[in-house]
Chain A
Amino acid sequence: MTKEQLVRRNNIKISGDGEKTMVFAHGFGCDQNMWRYLVPAFSDSYKIVLFDHVGSGNSDLSAYDFDKYDTLQGYADDIIEICQELALSNVTFVGHSVSAMIGVLASLSNNDVFENIVMVGPSASYINCDDYIGGFSREDIDELLGSMESNYLGWSSAMAPAIMANDERPELSEELANSFCRNDPKIAAHFAKVTFLSDHRHDLKNLKTKTLIIQCSEDVIAPTIVGEFIAENIESSELVIAEATGHCPHLSAPKETIEIIKHYLNSAEVLHEFA
């Protein structure tokens, strides 16, 4: 795959200056636009790489292979491909929700690919199992997958016009309005299934990459106890419980999120210099 094909497949957008790189990976349900409140804070000192997972946002939907993306490894392989093809170095990988685990898998497949991982609202497994609390029962997940289908009837194609009639944020272009959070129903249902049935608890122990975990209070998708589990299982990790509530602190509390990430990266830098 040539660089141009890759850029088109994952709708890759590169901006900012710096020797170091930040790669932002969106979670289930949205696309790279969810990072827009965070990116300006880092584009002075970092090269910023934004992309859409294949099947989401403005990615090439025809590249969606139901076999390849039947596990999160398919997405992880894409990220390694992106880092190698774009010759990215000193990468800090920021992954929201399911993309946090995708980052773990990418790092386990290729240890050199990331310098740091920043997880926003991660979960290693969503379903309660023995002592582990993931936050959901299997029935809950089945209900979600069912509700995906019923919601999409009125959601997927009818959503765009409603978003376009948006006067409050003129900075959002029409193109963005058309694509944001609008997914192909079949692909979205598959992505949801792969995401919410994934279980990568056992992969955490093998991760050597330095990791920051940002967990919010009152996050339905990833309760704080899940964040604690992840922190306990990753060797060099730091857990920060944000004051922000919900699952998307980078949207609801971008300032706080930026501060947490900057503080972590700066201290990591200091440590690095002392080492």
Chain B
Amino acid sequence: MNSHSELDLIDYKALYNEASVGYFTADAGGYIVNINDTFLKLLGLSREDVIHKVRFQNVLSIGGKMFYETHYIPLLQMHGVVKEINFEIVSAEKRRIPVLVNTKKSISTDGKKTYWHSTVFEISQRKNYEQELIISKKKAEELSEKLSVLNEELTKQSDIIKEQNTALEKLNLVKDKFFIVVAHDLRNPLVQLHSFVHLIEKHLDKFTKEQMKAMGRDLKSSINNTLGLADNLILWAKSQMKEFSAQKTHVNIQDIVMELILMNEDFAKSKSINISYTFDNMRDIVADKDQLTFILRNLLMNAIKFTPFNGLIKLDVFDENQDTIAIKVSDNGVGMSEELKDSLFKMASKDSNQGTMGEKGSGMGLSLVYEFVAMNGGTIDVISEEGKGTTFIVRLKSAERHLSEN
């Protein structure tokens, strides 16, 4: 009984006006026809200013107005009710107040008029919280973006490392093979030396002087080969450690070629090979003299090695153009297959070919030739056909001034 009388005491009008949320009712045209004190206070307007004069969208921010037309009204017209729509209200003092609005359609008792009842709930604090969330979300998104970029970068680097690893493993294999070839080549002359010493020790008196001399010559040439191999090995090791640089000077190519021909005369004669040469260059070559000598010695020795009895070797030096001198070393020897040509300048990727007389080689010479040519800013090309012969063309920079008369 008590509770009943207490309920009777509630002033519903005051409850409406002083409620902790804003209330308003709009007619079909959107005009506010009823509003409570709470909402008026929020707006900073008087009841007279509002009733039948103001439509709800009039108190919204511009963004809110457009949202009202494109979302709120269509939803209301379709469903008769919307809940928790976030608007920004602009008060008379131009204060922006975020609110949540619930609206429900209501038909007048005579069924003729439509009204829209709305509740307006201020959410300033929650909005601040939302803003913080949005900022955090954006930061998180940015971080995640950065992470994915980093991740991609890492994956790329890891791929590169994998590739490098594979290349290194390959190179290691090549070097292993190379050592076997070199060791094998070094062993041969030692075996020869060993048997020579054995003969001297045990059977010295059974050989004539002439026979001893002939054996000595053979041994000497074999040891010479080995020395050449050892020299190459040292050069190669240095080049691997990047100790080389080309000390470029003006080099008289004719002097070098003539000296090389002289040095290899015996070797050529032993196979009855004829060496011819022409010099049509007007200028010196700019190159490291020792390296150029090495290049030409290897090309010439190779030519002799791979040319059979009674063969021909030609050395031609000429100005290819104003800046370039070409040195052509050609033979009519055994030539080489396409496959061999492709791997020619790579270090010992296969067993070295033997010469026509079984001459040895480590395959190191040509790889060094290639490196030296490159170091001197030149190029090297090879033209070869199996059974017909081989031509190497080395192109190097020529000096600016003409050859001196002497």
A interface residues, Cβ below 8 angstroms from B:
27-30, 33-34, 36, 97, 136, 140, 143-151, 153-155, 158, 162-163, 166, 168-169, 172, 177, 180-181, 196, 218-221, 245-248, 251-252
Contact = CB atoms under 8 A, between A and B. Distances in A.
A150 B86 contact: yes
B22 interface: no
B88 A147 contact: yes
Contact of A169 (B61, B66, B71, B79): B79
Given A158-B84, A245-B29, A172 B78 contact: yes
A27 B79 contact: no
B30 interface: yes
A140 B80 contact: no
A252 B86 contact: no
A158 B83 CA distance: 10
A215 to B, nearest CB: 13
Contact of B69 (A143, A149, A181, A246): A246
B73 interface: yes
A172 B133 contact: no
B92 to A, nearest CB: 19
Given A162-B82, A162-B83, A166-B79, A247 B63 contact: no
B84 A168 contact: no
Contacts of B77: 248, 251-252
Given A155-B85, A168-B81, A220-B68, A248 B74 contact: yes
B73 A248 contact: yes
B270 interface: no
B3 interface: no
20 contacts: A29-B71, A30-B70, A145-B63, A147-B61, A147-B63, A150-B134, A153-B130, A155-B85, A158-B84, A162-B82, A162-B83, A162-B84, A166-B79, A168-B79, A180-B75, A180-B78, A218-B30, A218-B55, A247-B70, A251-B78
Given A151-B86, A248-B74, A168 B80 contact: yes
B67 interface: yes
Given A163-B82, A168-B81, A248-B73, 7 more contacts: A147-B67, A150-B131, A158-B84, A162-B83, A162-B84, A218-B55, A245-B30
A154 B84 CA distance: 8
A34 B78 CA distance: 8
Interface of B: 28-30, 55, 57, 61-71, 73-75, 77-86, 88, 100, 105, 127, 130-131, 133-134
Given A146-B63, A147-B88, A169 B69 contact: no
> 5 tightest A-B contacts by CB?
A147-B63, A29-B70, A251-B77, A247-B69, A140-B62
A149 B134 contact: yes
A143 B63 contact: yes
Given A29-B71, A180-B75, A246-B30, A144 B62 contact: yes
A27 to B, nearest CB: 7
A146 B63 CA distance: 8
A220 B83 contact: no
A140 B61 CA distance: 9
B355 to A, nearest CB: 67
Contacts of B61: 143, 147
Contacts of B84: 154, 158, 162
A104 B173 CA distance: 72
A154 B133 CA distance: 12
Nearest to B55: A218
Contacts of A166: 79-81
B167 to A, nearest CB: 41
Contact of A163 (B55, B79, B86, B105): B79
A169 B30 contact: no
A153 B69 contact: no
B66 A144 contact: yes
Contacts of B65: 220
A181 B70 CA distance: 9
Contacts of A158: 84
A153 B29 contact: no
Contacts of A221: 66, 69-70
Contacts of A219: 69
B154 to A, nearest CB: 28
Contacts of B29: 245
A246 B57 CA distance: 10
B81 A220 contact: no
Contacts of A34: 74, 78
Interface-central residue, B29, B66, B134, by most chain A CB under 10 Å: B66
Contacts of A136: 62
Nearest to A177: B79
A163 B71 CA distance: 13
A150 B134 CA distance: 8
A162 B82 CA distance: 7
A8 to B, nearest CB: 24
A120 to B, nearest CB: 12
